[in-house]
Amino acid sequence: MGAHSTHLDVQWFLVPKTGSSSEECEDAIDVLLSPETSSLFAAVSDGASESLLAGAWARQLVHGAVALMSAADEESVVGQDGLSRFVVEDLLARTVDQWDGYLAKYEAERIARGRPITWYEQPGLDKGAFATLMAVHMREAPADPENPKAVRRWIWRAFALGDSCLFHLRDGRLLTSFPITDGHGFGITPQLLGSRNRNASLIADRVSTATGELRTEDELLLATDALAAWLLSHPEVDSGGAGRQLGRLADLDQELFAEWVQNERDKSRMRNDDVALVRMRVKTEG
């Protein structure tokens, strides 16, 4: 029997809602693999359509969350009691505290282009942008010193605000769905993180967290609400049909994945909304 090695495998997809261009997509993804590939950090965010600069805010949130998790690395930001106020303050420093600077640059750039901010944009900019956030850190568990040759384990730790979801699949079957557990959990007023919200205690209270252990070939998916609702509303989700279908789709390229999404929308099986998907696996080779 030859030697086996494991590595982390990740794909991600962004598909704008029908009628919008890719520049108008308000879902965002960030993924970072640590240099020694022992850790994977990923986040998705869904910018609220009714706020201005929601896409830019969603991108700021995913970059901030990934930077926060990778800076902590072995010291996971998700503790036994959830996300501490200290961690939330760090997240706000990387996101909310940067927003005014981003806005000032945006407004200056609009003036430079001869298109200054108008009376109908100002109230929305004053109110701030809003988005969901789902972030996960996946890492190899430390080797057992008493049994160094044992199969290595992988741990994931996630935190979420709003209705973007994480799914843990084994052989296509759903083991964990977080934070929404059934297809009826998607309303039109999910919890959102605002670009002007500096209330770390309130956010720490509202963030939910989850952890789990991955086996080789298990899959972790991060998805924004339209795709997450599609998966959870499939009757065969428990037997693995819908999960396996998503896994096969994640092996496709962006164009084919976008075609499949469009087809589901056309058949009214998926809501017409931006779609973000990240698929992560521990793969064995050798």
Partner 1 sequence: MPYTAEISRTNPGCFIFLVDQSASMSDPIGSGEMVQQRAQVVSDAINRLLTELSVKCAKEEGVRDYFHVAVIGYGHTQVGSAFTGGLAGRDLVPLSEIANNPARLESRTKKVPDGAGGLVETTVQFPVWMDPVTNGGTPMTRALGYADSLVARWVDEHPGGFPPIVLNLTDGESTDGDPTSAAIGLASHATADGAVLLFNLHVSGASGTPVTFPDGEGDLPDTYSRLLFHMSSVLPSHMRSYAASQGHRVSDATRGFVYNADITSIIEFLDIGTRATELR
Q: Which residues bind partner 1 (CB under 8 A)?
A: 17-19, 24, 49-50, 52-53, 110, 115, 118-121, 123-124, 188, 272-273
- Closer CB to partner 1, 186 or 240, in the complex: 186
Name the residue nearer to partner 1 (CB basis): 115 or 267.
115
Q: Cβ 123 to partner 1, closest distance in Å?
A: 5
Least separation, in Å, of the C-beta of 156 and partner 1?
32
Indicate the residue among 8 and 48 with the shorter CB distance to partner 1: 48
What minimum distance in Å lies between the beta carbon of 160 and partner 1? 22
Nearer to partner 1, 195 or 209 (CB): 195
Distances (CA, A) of 169 to 172, 237, 248, 276: 5, 10, 13, 17
Minimum distance, C-beta of residue 19 to partner 1, in the bound complex (Å): 5
Residue 48 C-beta: closest distance to partner 1, Å: 11
Kindly tell me which of 30 and 273 has the beta carbon lying closer to partner 1.
Answer: 273
Nearest to 15 by CA among 277, 254, 275: 275
